[in-house]
Amino acid sequence: MRQIEHIKESGGWLNRYTHDSACCHCEMTFSVYLPPAASTRKVPALYFLSGLTCTDDNVRVKAGAQRYAAALGIALVMPDTSPRGEGVADDPDRYDLGQGAGFYINATCEPWASHYQMYDYVTRELPALVEAELPLIPGLKSITGHSMGGHGALICAFKNPGAYQSVSAFAPICNPVNCGWGEGCLSAYLGDDREAWNAWDATALVKAGAKPLPLLIDQGTGDEFLAEQLHPRALVDACLERNIPIQFRMQEDYDHSYHFIASFIGEHLAFHARHLQSD
């Protein structure tokens, strides 16, 4: 880890790091907010996965999460959305494929497979790195995200029972095998076998037997992507069919932007804080 920024905020420190990733075979950047409590003790962590076109910078600047994390004694870990740099595959004509659009899966098709191993990066490499280098409680973590990152948070939680204490999402892509964003990326990264896509779809994972954990989703009724891309009802119905508890809230008139996230980020951190209490 190479520290490239160190900013005092809400009594704690907002740090930014780069490191050479063994999963993604490139230099990766991520940010961590350490609350004031981290100066005297270990603290649990909440991972925030950002959406299409974003980097780690969007959430740390726009969401207003740090002040809540400071009060609750939770560290925030904010990874990038994809591998980047010279030699990393990209499609410059598309915002929804390539750099900025890693979809938090492990690609199996070239030219993507060489670098696009974001699932392994988020669930294995990055936690091991930050827990070794920073005052975090090993294994005590939760996960959240927005849009593509909400999809990432859900699949990481459902595919790793016991790894996360809780999961939440803002306007997540809930059924990517049945939406344009998901079909475009999954076909490129994984090939044409649609059955293989189900391993990276939150709705399909629930139907296949994913274990329940505390789950909160907020969705704005004014979201311009709600009807065509997000499909939250598919996930809600799958949870109801399997008697999996889900707290799903439709927020009147809110759109897909960080104004929406900033309006409810405090409630999401409080939700996770209740489940991150160490014994």
pLDDT band at 278 (very low <50, low <70, confident <90, very high): low
Q: Are 43 and 137 in contact (CB under 8 A)?
A: yes
Q: Residue 267: is its pLDDT beyond 60?
A: yes
Q: Say how far apart CA 175 and CA 91 lie, in whole Å.
A: 23
Amino acid in position 184: G
The CATH number assigned to the domain with range 2-275 reads 3.40.50.1820
Residues 6+ apart with CB under 8 A from 156: 49, 104, 119, 122, 123, 143, 163, 164, 167
Q: Which residues are catalytic?
A: 147, 223, 256
Q: Are 52 and 103 in contact (CB under 8 A)?
A: no
State residue 279's pLDDT score. Answer: 44
Cβ atoms within 10 Å of 39's Cβ, excluding its own:
12
Condensed to tens digits (0 to 9), the pLDDT of residues 165-180 reads 999 999 999 999 999 9
Within a 13 Å sphere around the CA of 260, how many CA atoms are in the beta-carbon half? 24
Reading the block at residue 122, the tokens are 């988020």
Instruction: Supply the DSSP string of 205-248, one letter for each residue.
Output: HHHTTPPP--EEEEEETT-TTIIIII-HHHHHHHHHHTT---EE
H runs (alpha helix) in the chain: 56-62, 65-72, 118-120, 126-133, 148-159, 180-190, 194-197, 202-207, 232-241, 258-275
- Domains of the chain, residue spans: 2-275
Condensed to tens digits (0 to 9), the pLDDT of residues 42-64 reads 999 999 999 999 999 999 999 99
Whether pTM > 0.85 for this model: the answer is yes
